[in-house]
Structure 1
Amino acid sequence: MQQVLIIDDNPSIGKALKLLLSLHQIDSEVALTPQAGIQRLEQNPGIALVLQDMNFSQDTTSGEEGKRLFSAIRALRPDLPIILITAWTQLETAIELVKQGAADYLGKPWDDNKLITSVKNLLELQELQAEQLQRTQLNESRRKELSEAADLCGLIYQSEAMHQLLTMAVKIARTQVPVLITGPNGSGKEKIAKIVQRNSERRDGPFICVNAGALPNDLMEAELFGAEAGAYTGSTKTRIGRFEAAHGGTLFLDELGNLSASGQAKLLRVLQSGEFERLGSSETRRCDVRLISATNTDLTQAIAEGHFREDLYYRLNVFELKLPSLAERPEDILPLVRHFLGDNVKLELSTVKALQSWPWPGSIRELENACRRAAILSDGENPTQEDFGIAFAENEATPSRVVVEPSREMIEEALRQNQGVVARAARQLGLSRQALYRRMEQYDIKTS
């Protein structure tokens, strides 16, 4: 349970603050001296916030005692929010401490509503940060575990959505059933298909790709099933189809929704029996192929409109992997930018936020093209959001400041921008220097 520690040498003030907090269901305890306050912090890890006075001697009004207490608390608990309670004579000192990391300051006599609002916001933020840090650490551990157990083909990701999808893809890979990968254009469906193949029993067999959207219908069947010489105009020699070429391995059929009615019928037969005939031939051939198909088409709607066979859909959709768009996983954007532009590129925080806020309708392919543009316009150094070809209206509403648990990439970016100076990077990230050091240790980040 979160608790507030009140450090004030005036018992009446301590009692009044404790009563005020209790009226708002906030637990608290009082220490009457700086020494007692430090002792309580050492003994009680549940203290989530400190309300501290600036003076503890009747003949002292300089605020020096408060400064020393503040420094001692920061040394002991660097991330602990501290609200200063000060007389107007110490206002300048309080402002100085706020610049050093104090959460807030309140003059005596304080405003009850303002104090309670500040305390509640800070306690809620502490809880949120703790949850985010726990999730980040857990996700990092799970990603590392998955990458060590499976071949992810160098896929760049950080988001939980992609982790869940990859975990499912690796499980499905061990089976022999057909897989349907759905998702927007440019989202990386072929990469997911390769991951399925590389983690299957067919990993040493061929991996053949066919883009049904890139070929006219009259050539698609010949592409898939092959053709004898003279089977169609311009055909002068026997053509081996992709199913034959993929024998013993995996066939990846992209843009499945563009397959003709005749092609759909033949594909269904192959899935049911493993048999097919080349165009212009009556000889039945057999193949052992695992089919992975992909589409950005809504196949259920295509079925309703009579453009796609329902029986084929259910044959293909034994397992469906729904690949989220890039806009649905903004955590993956910065790692991908680093992949496309290199680890030495420097980005302003405003540019990072703009990249993560952009909808990216063209998904990863659009981001890659934007990175190529940025590399050219910026000569590879310090690209701005304009270099990436994205911009927001000046009057666009922006949310108020939100403290978010920084990811590995955000920490590395801040360190790059500040030439490895931890103190400056910590200020940019809204952390204390000690807090940043702890996160660097957790992520095994070292400065040169």
Structure 2
Amino acid sequence: MLKESTQKVLIVDDNPAVGKALHLLLEVHGIAAEIALTPQAATKRLEEDGSIALVVQDMNFSEDTTSGQEGKALFYKLRQVRPDIPIILITAWTQLEIAIELVKNGAADYVAKPWDDIKLVTTIKNLLELEDLQQQQRLQAQTLLAEKARLLETANLCGLIYQSASMHSLVNLTIKIARSDVPVLITGPNGSGKEKVAKIIQANSRVNTGPFVCVNVGALPQELIEAELFGAEAGAYTGISKKRIGRFEAADGGTLFLDELGNLSASGQAKLLRVLQSGEFERLGSSETRRCNVRVISATNTNLERAIKSGEFREDLFYRLNVFELKLPPLEERKEDILPLIHHFLRGKAQLEASILHTLQSYPWPGNVRELENACQRALILNEGGKLQLKDFGLPIDETIIQSSKPLITEPSREVIEMVLKQNQGVVAQAARQLGFSRQALYRRLEKYKIEYNQ
């Protein structure tokens, strides 16, 4: 629903009859509006009234002018005042070429005279709803940053880089779970950061001074899994000439992280279940029962419930491990995290154009954070110290499609501006050149987003 009390449309037309007709049309549909008869009046109102969320402007303001140049000048003036405000152009057929040009440079839409009332109202409502959503997102981002700062005062996040609400919720839950001793199952696609979450659990647990032992169960040969987990006596199997300490013993008093748990053999599952139930186990080749105090965190990208139905995974072990489940979303579902991660992986050693940052943020990253890190490392190696090109990242992206769409990518997000500013050590002039702005245009955006910068 639209928020009539906080959103307003500014109608700019030198013809009072046209202005009144548009005003009445919007009023009938519950949309607040006001009229400005001149470009100067429109600019002044936009500077004064923060509740103006959209502009509908004519392209000519003099009786003997039909070129559309006055409307073009007004468009760019309004964008200087409020770079992000949606602007709808009302055009005659003679100004169609200019209208198309302005749409490529950020105008929301153009409407030909005489306009269709229903289409115009629908367009305005959609744009106002989008503007309202974006404002809510900006407020949510500011709230999240404040909450994250408070969380960092009492918790160790192990250097986790994130900016998305979904990851913040997951981190909050992780910290709460960490303070208990129950087993945790971390699920999510490959490369999404399951081991990092396991380390956060360890760092905020009561055994945070104990060892953190990680074993990739999926990378071990089936015949060696039990020896790796529980240890083996000398001669227990061919090729072992001395006693071997298992991962459970090594993790005693700390945390054992079992990655790729879905690949554990049936025998290994049975022995793991016993350890979880009693804390007891035997090394291979030994009948001596040993005890350990280990917190087990497991992780998998396998659908264990499906594996249970097919008989490949024990149901009792699943419920023993799955006291709490933490589901890591893929990177594609938390795009707000992409730019902070790029900045972290590039370590300030290279620069990126805003259009390339936008493209990297739009890429689906099927390999998740691991793929993003690898791509950044590749780019740094191929382009030492210069401006990175999209091809340096080695991604399967058609650059001709990106180049053809570049004119539509005109307004960088807060995250892009912050990243480019960091890349340039806070020097506004350098950041503005990289973004393709004047310094004044960048200053306006810094003030709008309340971004700190070097004076």
Structure 1 and Structure 2 fold alike (TM over 0.5): yes
- Comparing 359-368 and 39-48, the one that deviates more: 39-48
Secondary structure, counterpart of 2:180 in structure 1 = coil
1:350 aligns with 2:355: yes
How much has 1:326 moved relative to structure 2?
2.5
1:420 aligns with 2:425: no
CA contact (8 A) 2:428 2:442 kept: no
Match of 2:33 in 1: 28
Residues in 2 aligned to 1:239 and 1:78: alpha-carbon distance in whole angstroms: 66
Unaligned runs of 5+ in 2: none
Identical columns (%): 61
CA contact (8 A) 2:11 2:57 kept: yes
Match of 2:367 in 1: 362
How much has 1:268 moved relative to structure 2?
0.6
Q: CA RMSD in A?
A: 4.3
Match of 2:51 in 1: 46
How much has 1:196 moved relative to structure 2?
0.3
Match of 2:274 in 1: 269
Match of 1:335 in 2: 340
CA contact (8 A) 1:207 1:252 kept: yes
**Aligned with residue 371 of structure 1, among 369, 373, 376:** 376
Residues in 1 aligned to 2:260 and 2:365: alpha-carbon distance in whole angstroms: 20
Code of the residue aligned with 1:160 in structure 2: it is A
How much has 1:443 moved relative to structure 2?
3.8
1:213 aligns with 2:222: no
Residues in 2 aligned to 1:362 and 1:100: alpha-carbon distance in whole angstroms: 34
How much has 1:285 moved relative to structure 2?
1.5
Residues in 2 aligned to 1:359 and 1:95: alpha-carbon distance in whole angstroms: 30
Change in 2 beyond 3 A, CA 1:93/1:177? closer
How much has 1:60 moved relative to structure 2?
11
How much has 1:387 moved relative to structure 2?
1.3
Unaligned runs of 5+ in 1: none
- Comparing 306-315 and 5-14, the one that deviates more: 5-14
How much has 1:106 moved relative to structure 2?
7.7
1:325 aligns with 2:333: no
Match of 1:437 in 2: 446
CA contact (8 A) 1:61 1:89 kept: yes
Residues in 1 aligned to 2:339 and 2:143: alpha-carbon distance in whole angstroms: 20
CA contact (8 A) 1:106 1:115 kept: yes
CA contact (8 A) 1:22 1:28 kept: yes
Q: TM-score, normalised by structure 2?
A: 0.80
CA contact (8 A) 1:340 1:371 kept: yes
Change in 2 beyond 3 A, CA 1:266/1:25? same
Instruction: Trace 1:232-251 onto structure 2 (pairs within 5 A).
Output: 232-251=237-256
Match of 1:179 in 2: 184
How much has 1:435 moved relative to structure 2?
4.1
- Comparing 14-23 and 413-422, the one that deviates more: 413-422
1:133 aligns with 2:110: no
Instruction: Trace 1:86-165 onto structure 2 (pairs within 5 A).
Output: 111=115, 116=121, 119-120=124-125, 122-165=127-170
How much has 1:212 moved relative to structure 2?
1.4
CA contact (8 A) 2:105 2:408 kept: no
**Aligned with residue 392 of structure 2, among 387, 390, 394:** 387
Residues in 2 aligned to 1:395 and 1:31: alpha-carbon distance in whole angstroms: 42
CA contact (8 A) 1:415 1:425 kept: no
Change in 2 beyond 3 A, CA 1:8/1:168? same
- Comparing 193-202 and 334-343, the one that deviates more: 334-343
CA contact (8 A) 2:106 2:408 kept: no
Code of the residue aligned with 2:26 in structure 1: it is L
Change in 2 beyond 3 A, CA 1:317/1:37? same
Per-residue CA deviations over 1:69-99 (Å, capped at 9, x if unaligned) read 9899778767555667799999999999999
Aligned length: 444
How much has 1:336 moved relative to structure 2?
2.2
Q: TM-score, normalised by structure 1?
A: 0.81
Match of 2:21 in 1: 16
Code of the residue aligned with 2:132 in structure 1: it is E
CA contact (8 A) 1:374 1:380 kept: no
Secondary structure, counterpart of 2:395 in structure 1 = coil
CA contact (8 A) 1:228 1:238 kept: yes
Change in 2 beyond 3 A, CA 1:364/1:30? closer
Residues in 2 aligned to 1:141 and 1:26: alpha-carbon distance in whole angstroms: 34
Secondary structure, counterpart of 1:48 in structure 2 = strand
